[in-house]
Structure 1
Amino acid sequence: MAGLSIERVSKRFGEHTAVDALSLDIAPGEFVALLGPSGCGKTTMLRMLAGFESLSAGEIRLGGRTLASHERQLPPEQRNMAMVFQSYALWPHMSVADNVGYPLKLRRVSGEVYRQRLAQALELVGLSSYAERSPQDLSGGQRQRVALARCLVTDPDVVLLDEPLANLDRHLRASMEQSFRDFHRRTRATLVYVTHDQGEAMALADRIAVMRDGRLEQWATPETLYRQPRTAWVAGFIGQGSLLYAAAGEPGVRLEEADLMRGLAAVVAERTQPLLVRPEHISVLADAPSGQGLPAWVEGGTFRGERYELHLRLASGEALLAYHPVALDEGQPVEVVLREGWCLERDSQ
C-alpha cells in the first residue's frame, strides 16, 4: 500500500479560502479523521482528495504518483479511491449484490472473478446473507455497510468517508462505530474520515487533523489531543475541561498540583499563562472549609449516571467543571484541589 501525502493544499472560492495551506502525511493503512465544526474546510479537503474539486495551490500524492496539483488534475476514476457518502447513494431498484457489484461491472469485470470479489466484499461487512435483498428492506446501519462493501469491491488504495454516521440515531451510531473498527482491522485499508463529532473521531481514528477556518490547528493521536492540546480552541473542542490562567508554567508544560495551586492563588495581574484542567483532575471538598483548596461555590449540577457534573465558580470569577459522586446544593460553598493542568499556547484568533 502507498502513503498519502497532502502538501500545502489550498482551495479558494472567489475571495473565500476554504482550505488554507494544509499539510498531512498519512501512512499506509492508517485511519485518519478530519475533524472540525461546520464550514472548517474538511469536506472540501475530502472532495479534493477524491478529485471532485481542483486545487488552488499545493499537491496531493499517493505513493510516488501525483494525483493533483495546481497544474495537474487526475480524474476521480484514475485515483483508485472509493468514497462513502453521508446519503449512502444506493440504487433503490437494485439488490444489495447488484449495488455492491456495480463498480465491477463498470470496469467490465465478470464471471468467476466478479462473483469472488463480490462475495469477499459482502463477507467483509457481514452482509453475505443479505445479497438478494433490496436496500429499502435494510436498516440505516446495514445500508451504510452496503456502501462500504461497494467501496471495497474495487480494492481501492484509499477509502474516503464523508460524515457516514450523520443520518443515524445515537444508538445505531455507537453500533456502527464498532463496525468501522472491525472493518478497518480486517481490511487495513487507508481511511480518511470526515466528521464534526469529536466523540466519533476520538473513538475511531489513529490520528486526527483538527481543522478551523480552513487551517490545521493540530495533527495528533486522540490521546495527545486530549492530554496535550496545543491551543485553548483545541482544548475546548476536544473533550470537557476548564480554561484557567496561572502565574506559572509555559506552553507545552504539564503543571503538577503544588505548582498549579500556587499559580492559581497568585494575584490576577500575574496570572497570564492559559491552561486546561480536565474535570477528572479536580477534587471537590464539600465538607467544612479545610484551607487545603481554592474556595468555590456550586452553580449547578447535571446527573450523568455514574457521576454528577458540577458547575463551579471560583472566587476569581472563573468557571470550573468537576466530577463528583453525589449531588451538591446550588450555592453551596466548597473547596477544590486541582491535581494537574496542561499549559496552552495563546490562541491567535
Structure 2
Amino acid sequence: MAGLTIDRVTKRFGEQRAVDALSLDVEPGEFVALLGPSGCGKTTMLRMLAGFESLSEGEIHLGGRLLAGLDQHVPPEQRNMAMVFQSYALWPHMSVADNVGYPLKLRRRSGEAYQRQVAKALAMVALEPYAQRSPQELSGGQRQRVALARCLVTDPDVVLLDEPLANLDRHLRAAMEQSFRDFHRRTRATLVYVTHDQSEAMALADRIAVMREGRLEQWATPQTLYRRPRSTWVASFIGQGSQLKVAAGRPGQRLEEATLMRGLAAIATERTQTVLVRPEHVTVLPDSSSFHALRARVEGVTFRGERYELHLCLESGEALMAYHHEALTEGQKVGLTLHEGWCLEPDA
C-alpha cells in the first residue's frame, strides 16, 4: 500500500478559493475524514484526488508517484483509486454481481479470474447470497455495500467516499457505520471519507481534517479534536461544550479544577483567556448556598434518554451546558464545580 500526500493544494474558481493551500499526509491503510460545513471545500478536494478536477496550485502524490501538479494530471482511470458516491450509482438492469464486476469488464477481464474477484469483493461486504438479485430488491444499506464492493473489485490503492450515508435514515446510518468499520478492518484499504456529520467522522476515522472556507483548521485524531481543539471555532464545531472567560492559562493548556475555578472567580477585566468546558466535566449540586464558589440558574432542561441536558446561566451572564442524572426546575439556583477546561486560541 502507498501513502497519500496532499501538498499545499489550492483550487480556484475565478476569484474564489474553494481549497486554500491544504496539506495532509495520509498513511497507507489509514481511514481519514474530511469534515466541515457545507461549502468548506471538502468535496472539491475529493474530486481533485479522484482526478475529476485539476489543481490550481500544489501537488498530489500517491507513494512516490506524482498524480497532479501544475504540469501533471494523471486521468482518473489511471490513478488506481475508486469512488463511492452518495447516490450509489448502480445499474438497475444488472444483477448485484454484474454491478460489482462492471469495472473488471471495462478492463476486459473474464472467465474464472473475473468470477473469483467478484466473489471476493462481495464477501468483503457480506453480500454473497445477494449476487443474483437486482439493486431494486435491496435496502439502502445493502445498495451502499454493493457500491463498496464495486470499488474493491479492482484492488484500488485508495477508496474515496463522498458522503456515502447521507441518503440513509438515522437507524440505517448507525448500522452502516459498523459495516464501514468492519470493511476497513478486513481490507486495510486507505479510505478518504467526506462528511459534514461530525458523529460519523468521530466514529469512523483514524484522523480527521477539519476544514473551514477551504482551509485546514486542524488535523488530528478524533480524541484530540474533542479533548484538545485548537481554536474557538473548532471547539464550537466539534462536540458539545461551553466557552468561558478565565484569568488563567494560555492556548493549548489544560486547566485543572483548582486553577479553573480560581480563574472563573476573578474580576471580569482579568478574565481574558477563552476556555472550553465539556458538559461531562461539570458537577451540578442542587444547592446554591454561598459555600459554592460558582453558582448558576437553570435556564432549560432537555431529556436525552440516559441523562438530562441542563442549560445554565452563570452569575457572569455566560451560558454553560452540563449533564445531570435527574431533571431540575427551570429557574432553580444551583452550585457548580468545573473539573477541567482546555484553553483555546482565538478564532482567526
Give your verdict on TM over 0.5.
yes
For residues 138 and 290 of structure 1, what CA distance do their matches in structure 2 show?
Answer: 63
Q: Distance in 1 between matches of 2:292 and 2:334?
A: 11
How many angstroms apart in 2 are the aligned matches of 1:218 and 1:273? 20
1:306 paired with 2:336, answer no
Shift of 1:49: 0.1
- Where do residues 1-349 of structure 1 align in structure 2 (5 Å cutoff)? 1-348=1-348
Paired residue type of 1:46: L
Residue type matched to 1:51 in 2? G
Q: Which whole-Å CA distance do the structure 1 matches of 2:123 and 2:191 have between them?
A: 19
Aligned partner of residue 92 in structure 1, secondary structure: coil
| Residues in 2 aligned to 1:247 and 1:199: alpha-carbon distance in whole angstroms | 33
Residue 346 (structure 1) shift = 1.0
Runs of 4 or more above 6 Å deviation: none
Look up the equivalent residue of 1:8 and give its one-letter code. R
Residue 201 of structure 2 aligns to a residue whose secondary structure is helix
**How many Å apart are 1:288 and its aligned residue?**
4.9
- Name the aligned partner's letter for residue 200 of structure 2: E
TM-score (ref. length: structure 1): 0.99
One-letter code aligned to 1:112: E
Question: Given the two structures, how large is their TM-score scaled by the length of structure 2?
Answer: 0.99
SS at match of 2:148: helix
2:310–2:323 contact (8 Å) kept in structure 1: yes
| Distance in 2 separating the partners of 1:5 and 1:256 | 38
User: Match of 1:80, as an amino acid?
Assistant: N
Once residues 305 and 83 of structure 2 are traced to their aligned partners in structure 1, the CA distance between those partners, rounded to angstroms, is 38
Which residue identity is paired with 2:163?
Answer: E
What SS does structure 1 have at the residue aligned with 2:90? Answer: coil
**Cα distance in 2 between the residues matched to 1:7 and 1:223:** 25
Identity between Structure 1 and Structure 2 (%): 79
How many Å separate the matches in 1 of 2:42 and 2:282? 34
Instruction: Show CA shifts across 1:27-73 (max 9, x none).
Output: 00000000000000000000000000000000000000000012211
Unpaired stretches in structure 2, ≥5 consecutive residues: none
What is the one-letter code of the residue matched to 1:169? D
How far apart, in 2, do the equivalents of 1:56 and 1:316 lie? 49
SS of structure 2 residue aligned to 1:346: coil
Determine the C-alpha separation between the residues in 2 that align with 1:182 and 1:323.
Answer: 32
1:100-120 CA-partner distances (Å, limit 9, x unpaired): 000000000111110100000
| Inter-partner Cα distance in structure 1 for 2:16 and 2:335 | 49
One-letter code of the match for 2:86? Q
The CA deviation at 1:295 is 1.3
Amino acid at match of 2:243: L
In the alignment, structure 1 segments of 5+ residues that lack a partner are none
The letter of the residue matching 1:317 is G
In 2, the alpha carbon distance for the partners of 1:70 and 1:314 equals: 55
Please say if residues 265 and 293 of structure 2, whose CA atoms lie closer than 8 Å, have aligned partners that are also in contact.
no
Cα displacement (A) at 1:290:
4.8
